[in-house]
Structure 1
């Protein structure tokens, strides 16, 4: 496993070990293994674990989706959409009188006791809101998700073909930073003072690769996805070396 570990951070080894167990399970049982929803970083780690194995194949659910379920399966198996066990739910609410934000939907779902890994993307288009969830949670959600914020809501199950298509657009920019510390990079990317970013980091409002990081000194790497609550998401596209003044040149994309 050392050859895989070296490409990821120390704190990510637990997930790599878990993905390795999934792979071994498929090899030993000769049967497919379906995971919960994985964020993009976890998907990357599963890909690394499965690698170019001829014994275990890998496929992810849903094109143009951020959070996906992974299906690991033996070479004889031919996966179909149904094997991913996805539920598409539309959230009905009095849109003429109230508005519902992403964070409110997320909060309502978590308040029901659901793990984040049991539901995928939240899709917005105008007044329409859809939720992608694990099929095994569909009945529970239809019965229990009745309120978001102060708005009464109702859910209805839809066919997958009715899914709202949404693609995040990134505006590419460049910057020079004094170091690759999280507080230095985020301050430059979001045009916020380093002191304020440091406070946001320490209060748990900043994530790197979808994980809360509370150390301002955390070192950013190429490919990292950053998000700051209330300020959106960005991604470090490349680290382009040092300037003559010994600063780091970076290229990044920021969500429009």
Structure 2
């Protein structure tokens, strides 16, 4: 296992163990294993652990190609997966859009208040007045019966076919800059053009995520490929660390969502 662990952070080792267990179960039972929804970093870990193994393969689906959160299907080499094997449901939220505006945080918070795990939901998509939720089939009936308000606003759910999913493409801006270190507060301040004094309380108050996980340490060291999001400021990816300048600063390339 150590040869796998060395490529990942310590806090990711528990998830790696889980993926290895899934893989072994597929080998032993010779049948597919469907996971809950995984964030992109978890998908990357699953792909790395499974690798090019000829006996166990993996596919991901979250609705359409560009969805962010996806379910993984691990399966033996004889199996040919189809869309139905991922057991996805799509709902559209119907609400009084002329009078109220819904936010991602409001919708997600209301879903969590039903006692459901975040891993049972895929992307929550917004386009103009349309709001759509992708979820696991196994909670669709419960959701249909119990999800009837967001905050204090009454809503209705209408089940849709996956081919009616709202298309979504993020506009990306490339940023090239230099930083004195790869500490989270230093890198975040440079990306979002704010002071370290301003970003440090955001980190310690758990408003900053790295690879979709809350990080509350200002000295957390960022790595190439990390996705950083700050509530109220947006999301970006540390696409590349290009080495050091003559002034001993790290030159970084960042992909920032507009």
Question: Is residue 2:18 matched to residue 1:12?
Answer: no
Report the counterpart of residue 218 of structure 2 in structure 1. Answer: 216
CA distance in structure 1 between the aligned counterparts of 2:21 and 2:178, rounded to whole angstroms: 41
CA distance in structure 1 between the aligned counterparts of 2:111 and 2:37, rounded to whole angstroms: 15
Residue 177 (structure 1) shift: 0.7
Residue 170 (structure 1) shift: 1.4
Residue 150 (structure 1) shift: 2.1
Secondary structure of the residue aligned to 1:18 is helix
What CA deviation, in whole Å up to 9, does each residue of 1:186-224 have, x standing for no partner?
Answer: 001011110111110000000000000010000000000
Secondary structure of the residue aligned to 2:93 is strand
CA distance in structure 2 between the aligned counterparts of 1:252 and 1:143, rounded to whole angstroms: 43
CA distance in structure 1 between the aligned counterparts of 2:2 and 2:70, rounded to whole angstroms: 26
What CA deviation, in whole Å up to 9, does each residue of 1:91-115 have, x standing for no partner?
Answer: 0000010010111111111111111
Secondary structure of the residue aligned to 1:46 is helix
Normalised to the residue count of structure 1, the TM-score between the two structures is: 0.99
Task: Structure 2 unaligned segments of length 5 or more: list them.
Answer: none
What CA deviation, in whole Å up to 9, does each residue of 1:119-147 have, x standing for no partner?
Answer: 00011111000000000010111111111
Task: Structure 1 unaligned segments of length 5 or more: list them.
Answer: none
Matched positions, count: 256
CA distance in structure 1 between the aligned counterparts of 2:112 and 2:169, rounded to whole angstroms: 24
CA distance in structure 2 between the aligned counterparts of 1:218 and 1:115, rounded to whole angstroms: 27
Question: Is residue 2:256 matched to residue 1:251?
Answer: no
Question: Is residue 2:149 matched to residue 1:147?
Answer: yes
Coordinate RMSD, CA, aligned = 0.7
Residue 156 (structure 1) shift: 1.0
What pairs with 1:1-256 in structure 2 (closer than 5 Å)? 1-61=1-61, 62=63, 63-256=65-258
Normalised to the residue count of structure 2, the TM-score between the two structures is: 0.98
Moved over 4 A (4+): none
CA distance in structure 2 between the aligned counterparts of 1:206 and 1:152, rounded to whole angstroms: 31
